[in-house]
Chains A and B, each alone.
Chain A
């Protein structure tokens, strides 16, 4: 596969992965009010499968997951530089996103965030450095 096509495909998979995670969170929230819970639960399962497939294609097959989870002694100096930069950016992005979510929940008086949002945020925190590396395409 050509390098640019490979990079574009990775970017596409990163976007789809993020959208499906967002869809799972939104659907879970909708399920509380909807009458056709089974249909939404089915959709949740479909999105979950999509998350697994896109995770495999965007982060596992490309080695993005590995580069971010390798011990620092195994990485060479260029990789250490890339991972450090990705971690620095993702730390800022994650902080802003989390603050916005907590603030939004406080404003609309919905109480504490639910378990699916918490799980989504944990997943987001874990994949964000890899997503940034994949987006830049210089890993």
Chain B
């Protein structure tokens, strides 16, 4: 079965938290090259890895991963403010 492309916000969140790829890799227990593949959305993580990433960023999985292209965080904030 061909898997769907999973979009994510790993790169944005990592940079926002001033973390290097190596640091994030050590925290979630993968090779640093795997972080690059995840950030470029060239590799879909397992559920276990997705949970580990969400635990590091302390954010829910649907905020980090999606099957649809994710909006920029600034756009989401703007939408939230407009709706309020």
CA–CA, A75 to B46, complex, Å?
14
Q: Interface digits, A125-139 against B, CB 8 Å rule (1 contact, 0 not)?
A: 000000000000011
In the assembled complex, A77 has its CB within 8 A of some CB on chain B: yes
- The secondary structure that dominates the A interface is loop
B4 CB, min distance to chain A CBs, angstroms: 16
Q: Which of A75, A77, A138 has the most CB of B within 10 A?
A: A77
- The reply to whether A78 and B43 contact each other, CB–CB distance below 8 Å, is yes
Q: How many residues of B contact A (CB 8 A)?
A: 12
Partner of B30, one of A77, A138, A139: A77
In the assembled complex, A35 has its CB within 8 A of some CB on chain B: no
CA–CA, A70 to B37, complex, Å?
20
Query: What are the residues of chain B within 8 A of A76 when measuring CB–CB?
Result: 29-31, 34
CA–CA, A17 to B11, complex, Å?
38
In the assembled complex, B19 has its CB within 8 A of some CB on chain A: no
CA–CA, A78 to B43, complex, Å?
8
Partner of A79, one of B34, B42, B48, B49: B34
Partner of B45, one of A75, A77, A79: A77
CA–CA, A138 to B36, complex, Å?
11
CA–CA, A13 to B31, complex, Å?
25
Near B by CB (< 8 A), chain A positions 93-121 give none
A71 CB, min distance to chain B CBs, angstroms: 14
Q: Which of A76, A78, A138 has the most CB of B within 10 A?
A: A78
CA–CA, A76 to B24, complex, Å?
14
Which residue of chain A lies nearest to B43 when distances are taken between CB atoms in the complex? Answer: A78
CA–CA, A79 to B30, complex, Å?
9
Q: Please name 9 pairs of A and B residues whose Cβ atoms are closer than 8 Å in the assembled complex, sorted by A.
A: A76-B29, A76-B30, A77-B30, A77-B46, A77-B48, A79-B31, A138-B37, A138-B42, A139-B33
